[in-house]
Amino acid sequence: MKIINFLSNVAIPMVILLIIMYGLREKNKVFDTFLEGAKEGIKTTLSILPTLIGLFLAIGALRSSGVLELIINISSPILDILNFPSELMPLAILRPISGSGSIAVATDIMKSCGVDSLIGNIASTILGSTETTLYTIAVYTSCIKIKKTRYILIAALAADIVGIIASTIICKIMY
């Protein structure tokens, strides 16, 4: 275990050192190349900042408005028929929208239902098998200036639904 801790502590400094040594061997101006990359990174950050601010504002409005609870209350009878735990519905709704929001919801689920419970295991599996779809699409498409994201959104949300359903089925079979 000490060897693994040591290797994890020195991995990043060793990679940085290897990059610097390779750059010097190839007679590249390592620091100048680093500065150019940093400038590009700042430009990219500034170009996607409006998208991120809009997305964070929408997430905050969704969570504080009570719309999320309304959707859960309306969909509860259907979820009962489909044998999907209604405790997981906030996670299923928030996961494609917000990573931090979905982690907060998953933490609440695990506090109330237990980490080793079926619901806790399904919540953990959903977190691992789905993506913060809207955030990812917003960042990547705004970075390369794609305007028509309709088909990307449909495919990505379909993948999230499949991930949520598969997580539920597999956990119910295994646990």
Domain ranges of the chain: 48-174
126-128-132 Cα angle (round to 5): 80
Residues 6+ apart with CB under 8 A from 80: 86
DSSP label of 77: H
Query: What backbone torsions phi and psi does residue 149 show, to the nearest 5 degrees?
Result: -110, 10
Q: Rounded to the nearest 5°, which phi and psi values hold at 114?
A: 100, 145
Contact partners, residue 130, CB within 8 Å, separation at least 6: 95, 96, 159, 160, 163, 164, 167
pLDDT score recorded for residue 13: 93
pLDDT for 72 equals: 84
- Which residues touch 120 (CB under 8 Å, ≥6 apart)? 109, 110, 113, 114
Q: What pLDDT does 69 receive?
A: 82
Determine the pLDDT at residue 169: 93
Predicted confidence at residue 129, as pLDDT, reads 92
**CA atoms in the 13 A half-sphere facing the CB of 172:** 9
CA distance 25 to 9: 26
Q: What is the pLDDT of residue 136?
A: 84
List the chain residues with pLDDT less than 50: none
Amino acid 1: pLDDT: 73
Amino acid at 46: L
**Per-residue pLDDT, 162:** 94
